[in-house]
Amino acid sequence: MGFFERNRHELVARGIATERLPPGQYATERFPVLHVGDVPEYPDLSRWDLRVFGMVTERRVLSWGELMSLPSVSIEVDIHCVTKWSRFDTGWRGVPFEAVLQLVDVHPAATHLMCHSEYGYTANVALDDVVGTDSKGQPRALLAYEHGGRPLDPDHGYPVRFLVPHLYLWKSAKWLRGLELLPLDTPGFWESNGYSMHGDPFLEQRYADD
């Protein structure tokens, strides 16, 4: 019996529905660290801000205090990394993306979002993937600042990352600094390097040809 098959048998033994595990993935309790470049340091958050720009009537720049003043929620979701690991029932807290979207007048022709992070990292997602709620009534996208009841670790995106749990985790940009509304689907960092423009784990959309 191979590793992936054994892993699925272990889920059955634990009473976990294997339908929750996308094809080509294995379940783990670990949270591996994967990123490109250095981990940014923030002595304090007094100079941190978040830009909301692009296809909006008037751009907004939110301070950390302004972001924290917005409604926040706690969610429990499964997450899936393109490197084939998945974690079940992970807890996060943050600001629903739609709470930020409501602060700006979005042009009706906007269809996509580009997340901008420290050091120039970008990740693209369709607006249809980040508005609304999931089957549990939870926001489909979150500006997450806590994981497991604690502030994010620096390696996992402190102070805030854009969490889109139903897509591969590279779409959940760490160290978020900007949200750009766009009229078309434009490749981000990994997408420009051959990864899928969409990134659905259950369709195994890892690479551009998947």
What are the pLDDT digits (tens) for 116-167? 999 999 999 999 999 999 999 999 999 999 999 999 999 999 999 999 999 9
Angle subtended at Cα 152 by Cα 151 and Cα 153, rounded to the nearest 5 degrees: 115
Token pair recorded at residue 24: 């080509």
What are the pLDDT digits (tens) for 42-82? 989 999 999 999 999 999 999 999 999 999 999 999 999 99
Phi, then psi, of 42 in degrees rounded to 5:
-130, 95
- Full-prediction pTM beyond 0.85? yes
Domains of the chain: 47-76+87-203 (3.90.420.10)
Comparing CA positions, the residue from 108, 80, 106 lying closest to residue 202 is 80
